[in-house]
Amino acid sequence: MKQTRIDRTLDIEQAQLRGFARSVSEIEWLLLFLVILYLFATRPDLAHEPPLLGILIGFALFVLAFRYARPLASRPWLKIVAEIFAMVLFATGVLVYTGGDKSPLLNLYLLPIVTAALVLGKRAVAVVMVLVGACYLLLAMHARGLDALEPRLAIETLGVLAPFILVAFSTTLLAENINASKERIRALSDRDELTSLYNRAAFMRLAEREHTRAARNGRPYSLLMIDVRQLKSINETYGHEAGNRAVKLVSDALERLTRSTDLVARYGGDEFVVLLTEADRTVAEEVAQRIRNVVFSTTLEVDATMVRVKVSVGVASFPDDGTALAPILAAADRSMQKDKHDREPPKGVIVIRRR
């Protein structure tokens, strides 16, 4: 299950990056709009300067290309990095013609900094901050010449960048807290409340992925359907709390008897399902028998009564019982029903000792 969680986390991160990649273009349009608004509202004379006009048109074409032609579409992380660097370079080009290091548009650097903080994390923000610092130094040199290269400039640069660093740090912390909260909510939505195993919906999603991987690599896997026998009798005789403990007893046994790469889920009220990765029917049958034995040998103490819990286990394997997940699940369910009828059902709850 550990590897499955890692795979799921990676898939989620890729999906989030693709979503962010679509949003970055909106930020780029905002950046372009702010520059055009400033130019036409306060410096209309600059709006017709060929070099500045070329920068505006070039950036607009860049945004359109990344929005509609979708280069690097399969690599959203790289696409976002390219767009952040383009925003920094665009802002620097605009600043050259609007006052250099004294330009009122210096805060345009905040947009790529905040984007990096929200999307890429601390290390990326540090790289962007270094890039912004280097661009500011170049702006100062462009405006004042090489004489600007003195210790005082370093102090000035730090003073200018200090608010940017504060915003970047705060935004990064906020993004990390939001992502941590989303991860906790996502984990809760995938888990059964009583057993902390995967719920049915999460299992079906993850099992489909495992089936696709097994089919692509030509490797087997097996499914175990497990039914807690006489759970209704335990509930009626000792109460639902005892029934919950019986369910938890079985879930604990399943976790002990499976590997970290297997999937274990609560499939229904008294049913569990296990996907054994790269396991053929022979291995699955051995695991099924161990589950029966371990559950039966673990007694449930209810008040002064020791109760035996029994399970029925059905086995089905890929590709022997089907080439899709649904028929393999159906085969495992039929096998479980057969196991339930072949083994003589107890006439009520099995009590082994009373105090």
pLDDT for res 330: 96
Strand partners, 224: 274, 315
Q: Compute CA distances 288 → 69, 86, 90, 241, whole Å.
A: 53, 58, 63, 27
Cβ-Cβ contacts under 8 Å for 87 (sequence gap 6 or more): 27, 28, 31, 111, 112, 115
pLDDT of res. 355: 44
CATH of span 200-354: 3.30.70.270
pLDDT at 61: 93
Which one-letter DSSP state was computed for residue 193? T
Q: Note the pLDDT of residue 347.
A: 54
pLDDT < 70: residue spans in the chain: 1-19, 21, 69-74, 146-149, 186-188, 344-355
Q: For 65-89, how does the pLDDT look when each residue is reduced to its tens digit (9 = 90+)?
A: 887 766 666 677 788 888 999 999 9
Residue ranges covered by each domain of the chain:
2-189, 200-354
* pLDDT tens sequence across 183-196: 777 666 788 889 98
pLDDT digit string, tens, across residues 102-125: 889 999 999 999 989 888 888 889
